[in-house]
Amino acid sequence: MVITDILIRDIPDSQIEQIDRRAQHAGLSRSEFVRQWIVSDFRPAAQVTTHDLERLEALAQDLDDPDVIGLAWS
pLDDT, position 26: 97
Torsion of CA 13, 15, 20, 21, to 10 degrees: 120
pLDDT, position 31: 95
State the architecture of 13-72 in CATH terms.
Orthogonal Bundle (1.10)
pLDDT in tens, the chain (74 residues): 788 899 999 999 999 999 999 999 999 999 999 999 999 988 877 889 999 999 999 999 988 888 888 888 87
Residue by residue, DSSP assigns 5-46 as: --------HHHHHHHHHHHHHHT--HHHHHHHHHHHHTPPPP
Element holding 30 (H helix, E strand): helix 30-41
- Are residues 30 and 20 in contact, defined by beta-carbon separation less than 8 angstroms? yes
pLDDT, position 46: 82
